[in-house]
Structure formats: structure tokens, C-alpha cells
Amino acid sequence: MIARPAVGEILARVLPDDSAARDRARAALHTLEASGVPWYLRLLTGMGAWVGGGFMLSFIMAIVAAILGGKVEGVAIILGLGVMAGAVMLRRGVTGNGVGAQFLRQLALVACFCGQMLFIGGVGATTESTDAAAVAALIASAILIALYPDRVQRFCSTVIAVGSLLALIREMPYCADLMALLMVGGVLFLGRIASREGTDDQAEIVEPVMYGLAIALFGLLIVSTAILMFGGLEADMKEVRAVLIGKPTAFGFVLALLWLTASIFGEHGAQPTAPEAMLAFVAIIAIGWITQSTPAITATMLMLVLGFDRHARALIALSTLFFLMFGTAYYYGLNLTLLQKSGILAASGAVCLMASGFVRYRYRGYQALDAHEEPA
Amino acid sequence: MDLLDLPATPSRMRVAAEAAGAPPTSVQQALTLAAASPASRDWIQFLTGALLLLGAGLLLSGIVCFFAFNWADLGRFAKFAVLQAAVAICAGLGWWKLSNLSGRVALFAAAVLVGPLLGVYGQTYQTGADPWGLFFFWALLILPWVVVAHFTALWILTIALLDTALVLYWFQRPQIEIGEEGWLMLFVWGAAIHMAAVIAWELQRRRATPWLDEEWAPRLLVSTAFLALLAPAIALVLDLNLIGETWGAGFVIWIAAAAVFAYYTRVREDLFMLTAAGGAIMTVLTFIAGRIIFKELNLEMFGGLLMSGILIAEVVLGVAWLRYMIRRPAPPTVTSPEGEVIE
């Protein structure tokens, strides 16, 4: 159901039947697949690089402290910048897929993480200012996303940049709402618009940044939902205000989901005034209104729809997992007895089952069609 | 597998179309098709499937919450009647539409409702049974449905019930508290349940028409098994004095990894499984290196540099080996006239 059409199927639609051309395409795909790295190997290399970066950092700091004594902050900034620059140059200069090239790539990644930590930590320690460290992290992340050609680094830099921006605007009213809406806007732009017809080089930036934004958004929503669920003292609430989302986010998520739905209907040639589109809009507004105490539910629905639209299995899996988590939080947080909750759970389940049956019955004509074929 | 059957991502499509000699307009057309939103039929399937699963989940949660509330106004016969009727209706629906998703979801619902039924039985007759028994017999009772349903979610539910039963049993029967000698064997038994389930999955996959073919489930079980086995292995390396007489628990991860490497390179190639086993072994090796460098050799300053180098070498060699293993020519397989795969 999530699967994209096959390469051969699309090739047959754009090219006349030519077995020699198909053989050439097979050979090119073989080369491409041989150089590809699946996500779980990236995860392994990324985790190894983070831990390795931490050890390298401890070594550098120990050496600097041994030479200069206690005054290591200023040197850390310069060293951090130097190590980052060296890592970028090393990574951009490495070609090939041999073990030697892989070793240099991993070394560059470890050094890059280490340089990033040195630079951010050095700025923070020198100025004794969280804001300055956040600005340093933001600038370093932006530069690394643009210059360092590695998905793991781009993903991590995106998450660091989001955290830094939130730290920077933490005193602003509605800062968590602003961040949540910026992130959802970013995910929508990158997923629905920028990922469409970009070159492979652009995809190398767009995909990790999109996943970085999605993970950062889910992270913010988890923290906010957990604080709202389990509560806290008045003083604690003041301290954690920077990560608490509210009504503007709930409203913004609904608007974003409405836009995404309208955009998908538009791609399928349906007007926003079509009955299907109107029904979808009403359902989204109703869900948004009912679950306004837990806006994360609308956000995960948005990610789920976007994931299916973009055939992004990882986004679908993440959204499903978080949907279950936030759905549980929503029902747990209802100020009702267990008996009343059981009634609401059963009733909402019955509504979903009826909706599923209705959609299946109403659009039964579509079931017999081949993929990419629309009924007359 | 024909490489042209691979899903058409934009990068694959660009490479294939350009290699096939397509003109720029056709390449662009192919890219547009690859990046297009799914067809209306797929959206409808997605919507109906998602609503069906969500609806079934919510309804079942409601029923479980209702019986957990133990409403006094509802008599015991009414409780039994409601639950047994629900189980019978769901099982009947499942039997009627077993080939469809809706039938499998109905059978899943019947399997879930067996739990509250056992719970109500315990509440009514005060059997005095331990909680682990409820989950164990729940898993046992639904086993026939698991076999006939061919539904991955139901299979995972059974494993989750067995896991819960094991954890409850471990803290009730042997009465070993967390941190006491022998408690790390819990992780080994948990991993054993998962590995046994994966062996069963691999055996059924060798049928001409496998009952279950969704690979995320065995991958999830193998990953969680290795995560569990890491606890005793790391405790052994760090000499946390938690292992005691059951120190052998710390070595099980090596046996499990060897078995996974052997099976998923010689019988059925699966890079994910190899990565899970490889990642677990690399983690243990890193802890061993850390212990030698920082505790035995006491290399304080240069220890960080050495550890960093070891980690880089470990990851690079590990990933290179994993990629090499999966790209070797596939071992020949022979199929019997009945369609069974013969080694």
C-alpha cells in the first residue's frame, strides 16, 4: 500500500519498449544500489561517530588543559573552528567506496562532531552566556548543513539548530508555539514542495533536514505533553514555559493539515469545494477541536498523511508510534472516571469503524481500478 | 530480483532513465511520476485501513477499560455474557472474512478480548492465581488463532503477552529483586523467547506460500533480543558483581550473534539482522576496550584518543564487512517439486 510504483513500470510509460535500454537501466541501478547505505547502517555510523567525537573531545581538552592550565575556553573556540574546517575539507575531498575512504569519512564525521562541541562549549564558557552558545550552535549547524555532505551530520545539525533557536527565544511569549509552527512549516515545505523535483544533491540536504525537523518537533511535543500530563509546581511551570505549547499551535496544526489535504486534493484534480474535500476539512476541524488539549495528535496525523503522500516509510512508522503515544496521553488526561473514559473510547472507536465502512462503501468503484488509474 | 522492480525513488528513476537514453523531457516526466502523490485508490485503501485499525484499537481499549473499572452495577453473568458474546462475534467475523484485513482485525480483537474474559473470571471466582498466569494462559489460549490468522500484529501480541508473563513470573516466583544475583537471567530468557519466535518465523517463511511475510516483525524481535542481551554482557565486562553464579549470561550475546551471522549470510541474506547483531557486538567490544584502556592500563589522557580511534576502526571495518557480506553472490537454492526450499 505504501509502495511506490516500480522503476520498470515508470520507464515503460516514458520510453518505448526497448530491451537494450532496460538492460542499461538495470546496470546503472546495480551501480547505484552498490553504493547506497541503508538507514540502519547510517544510524550505526552516526552513533559510533557521536561516541567517538566525545572521546576525541575529552582527549583534546585534556591536552589543552595540560599545556595551558585552566584557561582552555578561548583555545576551544579556535580549535573547534579549526577541527570543523579540517573535517569539512577532509569529507569533501574523500572519494570512492574502499575501506580507506570509509575510514577517512568516519574520521571526518567524528572530528566534525568533536569540533562542533568544542566550538559551542568554548563560546558558552568564554561568554558565560547561553544566548551566545545558542547563536554559535545555530551558525555552526547552518554552515555544516550547507557544506558538510553527510546525511547523519545534517540530521544532527538540524536537531541542534532547532534546540539552539528555542534556547535563544526562550524568554519570548509563545516561543514554543512559534518553534512548533516553524518546524511544521519547514517539514511541509521540504516534504511536499522541495523534495519533488530537486536534484540528487538537493535531496541529500532536503531529506535529512526534513527528518531532523520532524524528530525535533516530536521531541518538543513529547516534552510539552509530558509536562502538561504530569503537571508540576507553579514555579516549575514558569521554568518550563519555553517548551509548553498552547492554543496557537493547536490552531496552526489544524491549518497546516487543512492546507496539506487541500494540496493533495488539488494534485488529484479535486476542487476544495468537492464533497470529498469538504468532508475531509470538516473532519479535520472536528478532530482539531476535540483534541485541542493535545495538539500533538493533529501534528502526528499531518506527518502520517505527509509520509503516505511522499511514500516515506520512516515518517509513517514514526508518526504511527507517536500517534499511539499522544492518543494515550489524550485519553489519560481527560478529567473523567475510567467508566466514562471507556464509553468515550468505545464510542470514538465505533465512529472510526463506521467511517471506514462508509468510505469503503462510497468508493467501492475505486477498489477495482489499477494504481494511477482514475474512474471516468 | 529484477532491479527494475525496485520502488521508483527520484534518484533511482533519474539514474535508470538517463542510462536508458531517455531524452531530458522524458527524464523529467519520469521524475514527476516518481514524485507524484499515490493514486486515489491507494489513498482510499490507506484511509479505510487506518480508520479500521484505529477504530478497532479504540473500541478494544474502551472494552478493556470498562472491565478494568469492574462496574458493580453489572452482574457477573452479564459481564460474562457481554465478553463471551463479543469474543464469539469477533471470532465469527474473523472466520467469515479471514482473507481480508477486516477479518484479521476481528480475530485480533477476539484474541485481545480473551484477556478481559480471563480477568473477569479471576475477579468473579477469586481464583488466587498469580498475574503472570493470566498473561501466560492468555497467550496459550489464543495460539490457535495466531496460527490460522496469518496476521503479523497478532503474532507480535502473543510475544508481548509472553514477555509480560515472564517479567511478572520473574519477580513473583524466583523472588529475585533488581540488582540481586541472577536477576540478569531475566534478559536472557526474554531474548530466548524472541529468538524462538524468530526461528519459527524463519521456518514458516520457507514454505512455498509463507503465512507471514512482513519483515519488520522479526527485525523488531531480533533488535529487542540483542538489546536485552547487552545488559548481562555489559555487566560482565564492567564486573558489576551482579552476575554471580549466572556469569554465563554475559556470553549468550556472542552465541546469539554467531547464530544470526551464520543464518543471515548463508541461508537468507538480511543486512538489517546482521547490523543488529554487529551493532550489539561492537557495543560489547567498545566496553571491553574501555575497560582495558581506562581501568587495566589506566591511560587517562591518551585513553580518549585511543578509544576514538578504536571506535572509528570498529565502525568502518564493521560496516565494510556488513556491506561485503550482503553483496557476495547469493548461495544457490533448490526448490522441491512441492515448492519447499531445499538447502
CA distance linking residue A282 with residue A289, whole number of Å: 10
Residue B326 reports pLDDT greater than 80:
no
Mean pLDDT (chain B, rounded): 86
Taking contacts as CB-CB distances below 8 angstroms, the residues of chain B near A41 are: 271, 275, 319, 322-323
Out of A7, A21, A349, the one facing B8 most closely (by C-beta) is: A7
Q: Residue A69: its pLDDT value, please?
A: 73
Task: Provide the grid cell at B170.
Answer: 520473574
Taking contacts as CB-CB distances below 8 angstroms, the residues of chain A near B19 are: 24-25, 27-29
Predicted interface score ipTM higher than 0.95: no
B271 touches chain A (CB under 8 A): yes
Residue B48 and residue A352: Cβ atoms within 8 Å?
no
Out of A347, A352, A363, the one facing B44 most closely (by C-beta) is: A363
Residue A7 and residue B66: Cβ atoms within 8 Å?
no
Residue B311 and residue A34: Cβ atoms within 8 Å?
no
Residue B49 and residue A63: Cβ atoms within 8 Å?
no
Out of A62, A200, A352, the one facing B51 most closely (by C-beta) is: A352
Q: Residue B328: its pLDDT value, please?
A: 56
Residue B304 and residue A26: Cβ atoms within 8 Å?
no
B100 touches chain A (CB under 8 A): no
Taking contacts as CB-CB distances below 8 angstroms, the residues of chain B near A58 are: 304
Residues 37-66 of chain B whose Cβ lies under 8 A from any Cβ of chain A: 37-52, 54-66
Taking contacts as CB-CB distances below 8 angstroms, the residues of chain B near A359 are: 44, 47-48, 51
Residues 305-324 of chain B whose Cβ lies under 8 A from any Cβ of chain A: 305, 307-308, 311-320, 322-323
Residue B7 and residue A5: Cβ atoms within 8 Å?
yes
Q: Residue A367: its pLDDT value, please?
A: 58
Out of B28, B61, B315, the one facing A345 most closely (by C-beta) is: B61
Tens-level pLDDT at each residue, chain A (376 residues): 566 788 888 888 888 777 788 888 888 888 887 777 788 888 888 888 889 888 988 888 888 888 777 677 788 899 999 999 999 999 999 887 777 888 888 889 989 999 999 999 989 988 889 899 999 999 999 999 999 998 999 999 999 999 999 999 888 888 899 999 999 999 999 988 887 766 667 778 898 999 999 999 999 999 988 887 776 555 556 667 777 888 899 999 999 999 999 999 998 888 888 888 999 999 999 999 998 888 999 999 999 999 999 888 889 999 999 999 999 888 888 888 888 889 999 999 999 999 999 998 888 776 554 444 444 3
Interface mutation vs chain B, best among A43, A44, A196, A199, most B CBs within 10 Å: A44
Residue B333 reports pLDDT greater than 60:
no
Taking contacts as CB-CB distances below 8 angstroms, the residues of chain B near A62 are: 300-301, 304
Return the number of CB contacts < 8 Å for A and B. Answer: 285
What's chain B look like in SS3? CCHHHCECCHHHHHHHHHHCCCCHHHHHHHHHHHHCCCCHHHHHHHHHHHHHHHHHHHHHHHHHHHHHHCCCCCCHHHHHHHHHHHHHHHHHHHHHCCCCHHHHHHHHHHHHHHHHHHHHHHHHHCCCCCHHHHHHHHHHHHHHHHHHHCCHHHHHHHHHHHHHHHHHHHHHCCCCCCCCCCCCHHHHHHHHHHHHHHHHHHHHHCCCCCCCCCCHHHHHHHHHHHHHHHHHHHHHHHCCCCCHHHHHHHHHHHHHHHHHHHHHHHCCCCHHHHHHHHHHHHHHHHHHHHHHHHHHCCCCHHHHHHHHHHHHHHHHHHHHHHHHHHHCCCCCCEECCCCCEEC
Residue B320 and residue A99: Cβ atoms within 8 Å?
yes
Task: Provide the grid cell at A117.
Answer: 562541541
Residue B324 reports pLDDT greater than 50:
yes
CB B185 within 8 A of CB B166: no
CB B314 within 8 A of CB A106: no
Residue B16 and residue A367: Cβ atoms within 8 Å?
no
- Burial, A166: exposed, middle or buried (Cβ in 10 Å; 0-12, 13-18, 19+)? buried
Phi and psi at B20, nearest 5°, equal -75, -5
What's A285-341 look like in SS3? HHHHHHCCCCCHHHHHHHHHHHHHHCCCHHHHHHHHHHHHHHHHHHHHHCCCCHHHH
Q: Which residue has the higher pLDDT, B107 or A234?
A: B107
Residues 144-183 of chain B whose Cβ lies under 8 A from any Cβ of chain A: none
Residue A44 and residue B311: Cβ atoms within 8 Å?
no
Interface mutation vs chain A, best among B41, B299, B310, most A CBs within 10 Å: B41
Q: Residue A368: its pLDDT value, please?
A: 52
Out of B6, B38, B61, the one facing A7 most closely (by C-beta) is: B6
Helices B185-205 + B216-238 axis angle, to 10? 150
C-beta atoms surrounding B167 within 10 Å? 15
Q: Residue A372: its pLDDT value, please?
A: 46
Residue A345 and residue B65: Cβ atoms within 8 Å?
yes
Which tens digit of pLDDT belongs to each residue from B11-42? Answer: 888 888 888 888 888 888 888 888 888 888 88
Residue A59 and residue B308: Cβ atoms within 8 Å?
yes
Residue A45 and residue B319: Cβ atoms within 8 Å?
yes
- Burial, A289: exposed, middle or buried (Cβ in 10 Å; 0-12, 13-18, 19+)? exposed
Look at the block and give the residue holding cell 503516505: A308
Q: Residue A352: its pLDDT value, please?
A: 92
A10 touches chain B (CB under 8 A): yes
CA distance linking residue B131 with residue B143, whole number of Å: 19
Out of B17, B34, B68, the one facing A338 most closely (by C-beta) is: B68
Give A42's contacts (C-beta < 8 A, 6+ positions apart): A151, A152
Q: Residue B327: its pLDDT value, please?
A: 63
Residue B97 reports pLDDT greater than 90:
no
Q: Residue B334: its pLDDT value, please?
A: 43
The whole-angstrom distance between A245's CA and the closest CA on chain B is 26
Residue B40 and residue A367: Cβ atoms within 8 Å?
no
Residue B35 and residue A26: Cβ atoms within 8 Å?
no
Residue A7 and residue B327: Cβ atoms within 8 Å?
no
Residue B34 and residue A348: Cβ atoms within 8 Å?
no
Task: Provide the grid cell at B144.
Answer: 490457535
The pTM (predicted TM-score) of the whole model is: 0.83
Out of B28, B43, B62, the one facing A345 most closely (by C-beta) is: B62
